[in-house]
Structure 1
Amino acid sequence: MDFSYSEEQRQLADSLRRFTEERYPLEARRKANGFSRDAWRMYAELGVLGLVIGSEHGGFDGQATDTFAVQFEAGRALLPEPLIPCAVMAAGLIQRYGSEAQRHAWLPPIAEGREIMTLAYQEPSARYDFARPSTVAEARDDGFLLEGEKVHVWHGEAAQSLIVSAWNPSAQAVSLFVVPSSAAGVSVRAYPTLDGTRDAQVTLNAVRVPTSALIGEAARGEAMLETALELGIAALCAASAGALDRLIEMTAEYLSTRKQFGQPLARFQALRHRVADMAVQKELALSMAHLAASAIDHPGAVERRRMISSAKLIVSRAARFVGEQAVQLHGGMGVTAELAVGDYFKSLMVASLRLGDAEFHADVLANLPIEPGTHALAA
């Protein structure tokens, strides 16, 4: 896959960068508390929210390279809004598996910025396991009755709708449902996260949804959810690569201006070597982010999962290394609000935990079957 930007991708990336630099600086992003309505409208105007949505539903038929270009810039700017959970994961899931009625109902509002949707799939004590949720969806004549609890719902407070995973006894499988956050019996308790965004704990107490809320086939919820998570991981790897790129730029600028013993810190060979090591890790993360994007359309499920998990594992390790080095090279200033380095470090640490941390993806790789002609990309 060719990852050089097309003219349209370059224009979109440049437009997003100009917006963040001129109209949405770091100070404003810090005050946004995880979400800015003005910024969200701008994302819709730029076409970011409808990127993966089909043109017949108001989108732009975007591919993996388009998502990469946008998320790389979003990561460079630490955009706090739910671009990945809504515009990539939820929109991508409905685009692929929703009925025509569901696509018509949900995709145009997402593309236009009128609807925010996120996934609610993690549960207490289950960590990253989503294969057998304790949330249950009992079939009723007029639909389903949902009962359960979800945690770590990414931007759950801002979402008007949730894609909820639940065990469906009638299908003996995991099913996915669109549940309005305002539905009777839905309780959303939001809380701040380390990176300045907000997650939520969602309680479903005898929540009734119609049959039309069921996404795709009742017995294919696990496979559909895995696809959405793969889309999210690829986008998150691109965003982390963008954050690493900007973090190294800031560190190099600081070392060039900060003086010690009458000369810039950048003159000290040992420090230059540390920045070089950071650059190596960034390039490795960037390459793996490209790999994750190329994996999205790979026909083989096992090899696709191998590529996605390898990317998430290596990008997470690179993020920790580069983040820690950046903070140390800034000295005491690295942990103050005066500089942005701390914001980037915290964002990268949270990103490394979302959608499976390094340990989880190492386990995934260890348990995948080795197909003929393939090899493990990470150990």
Structure 2
Amino acid sequence: MDFTYSEEQQMLADSLRRFVESEYTFAQRRRRAREGASFDRAIWTRLAEMGVLGLTAPAEYGGFGEGAASRLVVQRELGRALVLEPVVPCSVMATAILAAYGSAAQQDHWLGAIATGQQVVVPAFAETASRYRLDAVGTRATPVGRGYVLDGAKALVWHGEAADAYIVSARVGDAVTGDIALFLVPRESRGVRVAGYPTMDGQRAADVSLEAVAVGAEALIGAPGAGVVALGHGVDCGIAALCAEAAGAMERLIEITAEYLRTRRQFGQPLAAFQSLQHRMADMLMHKELALSMAYVAAQALDEPDARKCRRMLAAAKVTVAEAGRFVGQQAVQLHGGMGMTDELEVGDYFKRLTMFDPLLGDIDHHLASYVEAMDD
């Protein structure tokens, strides 16, 4: 996979950079995050117009049919700005699941709506006791007539408040041995209740409960027993996108910290003149470069035909980027001194975002175990 930016990719990166600087300023982002308005339909529409939301959707459904390399370009720029909108859960994860496993009718309706920004669809798979396991599903789907009735609860649904529909995992029939399937559940369905709350990094999540929610047979995504595989595909794409996003956030945080050291003076000279601080900045830069390299590895893993190798590559990337993000975030706060602990500066927002990168879609411990399990005998 060639990660040298093509002319089109560079143009997309430049347009996103300009958009952030002119229409998505940090002051605006911070105000929306503080007010609990992490989703803005106007911003979402602008992202759709720039091709961000339909980047990897098939061309026949209004997308651009691009691959992981182009997604890396986009997420890196979005990470630099700490964009709050649900790009990863909707235009990355949900799009990947529907494009690979959705029926023709589902693809025709939902992929086009996602690409144009008209609909927001997010996966709802985590439960209170699942602990990152995609097969730990207590939600039930009882066959009734030509459809199903869903009962259960999903926790930590990323951007669940902003969603128009959910991709819900449930066991068909028996609550223990039933096949795990995915269902498209519109939010306005009777019996769906959503309780939203803020996350530490200024984004939003929600608990979604389903009580006797009736859906038709057309809501089933793929075969009844393909739920874990389909969901895993979406999670893999989400991990690759998050790695690129975190690398972009580290990149911008280092720039902010370097500027602070150049302007802040002590003992008659800028802090940047002190060799010990130069060494710490160099360590931060090395960790960022390692994270960016592993973001490339994660993007490349999506095209890897060997499932075990793909799993190792993604796990290694997630662990390495999470560790790098923690290091860069902590160092940036320390180099800002007492100011780094306040809400006055941007550094705190980046630190929180990089801290939250670890538990999203599996923390370090989970992916270390996943890496070991995927090793060749």
Residue 352 (structure 1) aligned with residue 361 (structure 2): no
Alignment correspondent of 1:374: none
Q: Which moved more, 1:25-34 or 1:307-316?
A: 25-34
Aligned to 1:161: 165
CA shift, 1:14, in A, is 0.8
* Distance in 2 between residues matched to 1:307 and 1:168, nearest whole Å: 32
SS in 1 for 2:161: coil
Counterparts of 1:300 and 1:169, CA distance in 2: 32
Shift of 1:369: 3.4
Of residues 348, 361, 364 in structure 2, which corresponds to 1:342? 348
- CA drift of 1:307 comes to 0.3
| Cα drift, residue 217 of structure 1 | 1.1
By how many angstroms is 1:105 displaced?
Answer: 1.0
CA distance in 2, matches of 1:13, 1:348: 21
Determine helix, strand or coil for the equivalent of 1:353: coil
Q: Distance in 2 between matches of 1:100 and 1:335?
A: 51
**Which residue of structure 1 lines up, in the alignment, with residue 190 of structure 2?**
184
| Partner SS, residue 190 of structure 1 | strand
Instruction: Pick the aligned partner of 1:40 from 31, 44, 48.
Output: 44
Shift of residue 36 of structure 1? 1.4
1:29 match: 29
| Counterpart in the other structure of 1:92 | 96
Q: Name the counterpart of 1:376.
A: none
What is the deviation of 1:140?
1.4
State yes or no: 1:119 paired with 2:109.
no
Q: Deviations over 1:265-320 (max 9, x none)?
A: 01111111011111111111000000000000110111101100110000000000
Give CA deviations for 1:149-207 in whole Å, capped at 9, x if unaligned. Answer: 10010000000000000111379321000001111000100000011111000001011
Residues 143, 149 of structure 2: 8 Å contact kept:
yes
Matches within 5 A, 1:132-143: 132-143=136-147
- Quote the Cα distance in structure 1 between the aligned partners of 2:197 and 2:106: 30
CA contact (8 A) 2:130 2:136 kept: no
- 8 Å contact 1:49–1:111 — kept in the other structure? yes
Per-residue CA deviation, residues 69-115 of structure 1 (Å, 9 max, x unaligned), is 00000000100000000000001110111111110110111111000
1: distance between equivalents of 2:121 and 2:293? 30
Contact 1:132 1:174 in 2 (8 A): no
Distance in 1, Cα, partners of 2:311 & 2:182: 21
How many Å separate the matches in 2 of 1:159 and 1:31? Answer: 21
Judge conservation of contact 2:312–2:375 (CA < 8 Å) in 1.
Answer: no
Larger deviation, residues 202-211 vs 22-31: 22-31
Instruction: Report the secondary structure of 1:293's partner residue.
Output: helix
Partner of 1:257: 263
In the other structure, the counterpart of 2:308 is 302
2:84 corresponds to: 80
d(CA) in 2 for partners of 1:183, 1:169: 21
- For residue 63 of structure 2, what is the amino acid of its counterpart? G
Query: Which position in structure 1 is the counterpart of 2:62?
Result: 58
Query: C-alpha distance in 1, partners of 2:16/2:120?
Result: 20
Unaligned runs of 5+ in 1: 372-379
Q: Which moved more, 1:95-104 or 1:333-342?
A: 333-342
CA–CA distance in structure 1, aligned partners of residues 63 and 305 of structure 2: 24
Q: Name the SS for the 1:144 alignment partner.
A: strand
Deviations 1:323-353 (A, max 9, x none): 0000000011112222100000001111221
Give every structure 1 segment of 4 or more consecutive aligned residues whose post-TM-superposition deviation is greater than 3 Å: none
Equivalent AA in structure 2 for residue 202 of structure 1: V
Matched residue type, 1:299? P
CA distance in 2, matches of 1:366, 1:60: 36
Separation (CA, whole Å) in 1 of partners of 2:136 and 2:89: 21
Structure 1 distance, partners of 2:234, 2:134, is: 12
Give the counterpart of 1:195 among 201, 222, 225.
Answer: 201
SS in 1 for 2:150: strand
Which amino acid is the alignment partner of residue 71 of structure 1? Answer: Q
Say yes or no: does 1:130 pair with 2:134. Answer: yes
| Superposition TM-score, scaled by structure 1 size | 0.96
Work out the CA distance in 2 between the residues paired with 1:30 and 1:184: 35
Task: Return the letter of the residue paired with 2:306.
Answer: G
Q: Partner of 2:60: helix, strand, or coil?
A: helix
Given that residues 132 and 167 in structure 1 are in contact (C-alpha distance below 8 angstroms), is that contact kept between their aligned partners in structure 2? no
Letter in 2 for 1:2: D
| Aligned residue in 2 for 1:49 | 53
RMSD: 1.0
What is the total number of aligned residue pairs between the two structures?
Answer: 371
Q: What displacement does 1:31 show?
A: 2.3
The 8 Å contact of residues 88 and 235 in structure 1, kept in 2 or not, is answered as yes
Q: Kindly report which structure 2 residues correspond to 1:196-235, keeping only aligned pairs within 5 A, or say none.
A: 196-235=202-241
Q: Percent identity?
A: 51
Give the letter aligned to residue 87 of structure 2: L
Unaligned runs of 5+ in 2: none
Q: Is the 8 A contact 1:93 1:224 kept in 2?
A: yes
**Matched-pair contact (CA < 8 Å) for 2:284–2:327:** yes
2:291 counterpart of 1:282: no
Letter in 2 for 1:221: G
